[in-house]
Structure 1
Amino acid sequence: MRQIARVPRPTINIVRLMIYHDGVGAYLFGFDTLVDAGCRWDEWYETAEDAQGAAEHNYGVGPADWQPIPDPLPHCYETCIAPVRPKGSPDGNPQHGRLETLVNNEWVDFHPEQL
């Protein structure tokens, strides 16, 4: 399960949060941009409710602020909203630093600097 929320009173560094529950625990990710990009930091919590509590306490993000988003596809980064993965990862040969994203059911080159 993943959820995202905009920070209602953004700080200099954080404007968006994401929670990803992987079945073992929950990660709270902080982002310095509203654009789909890598996170600035992450924290681990035992439950998604604990992560939501930290988000509310530290950033003023309440329960109604969270929007569900789909879980990442296999081999894709959990911090990206869109499906983004290292090239070659489905074959067991990930080419770290070379990324691809799913567009119209086709994997195409992805260059974050173009965002």
Structure 2
Amino acid sequence: MRRVAQVQNHSRIKRVMVYRDEDGFYLFFYDKAEDCSSFEDRYYSTIEDIYDFCEQQYNIKEKGWQDIADPEPDCQHDWITPVRIKDRIIGKPQWGRYEKLVNGVWVDIKEMDS
């Protein structure tokens, strides 16, 4: 389960994403509106805690959340589109280098510095 919400009127945070794994929930924070890596994440044991935090801090109401697809296998949880660490799938991860699935082909990408 993943959900994303835009953040209005905040100097740094532009959007947030919730990701559920087998142990709990992660809240990812982004300083860009477009799809990119998060700059921070926090773990929560319940989704209600995330919703309460986001409503209090960023005024995100229930209608402000949008469901999105779960990540593809071996892909980053904090990207909306299928993105993975280059060569991680073959056991030789190139940390900081990413590749994105475009029309069925993995293409190298370079994430812009903030």
TM-score (norm 1): 0.90
Q: Is 1:17 paired with 2:54?
A: no
Over the matched positions of the two proteins, sequence identity in percent amounts to 41
Give 1 or 2: higher strand fraction: 1
Question: C-alpha distance in 1, partners of 2:9/2:21?
Answer: 27
Residues 69-102 of structure 1 show CA distances to partners (whole Å, capped at 9, x for unaligned) of 1111122111111111111111222111221100
CA RMSD after TM alignment: 1.5
What is the aligned partner in structure 1 of residue 26 from structure 2?
27
Q: Deviations over 1:37-94 (max 9, x none)?
A: 1223211110222211111111100111111111111221111111111111112221
Is the partner of 2:89 in helix, strand or coil? helix
Query: Structure 2 length as normaliser, TM-score?
Result: 0.90
Structure 1 stretches (4+) deviating beyond 3 angstroms? none
1:47 equivalent to 2:46? Answer yes
What residue is the counterpart of 1:103 in the other structure?
Answer: 102
Structure 1 gaps of 5+ residues are none
How many positions carry a matched residue from both structures? 113
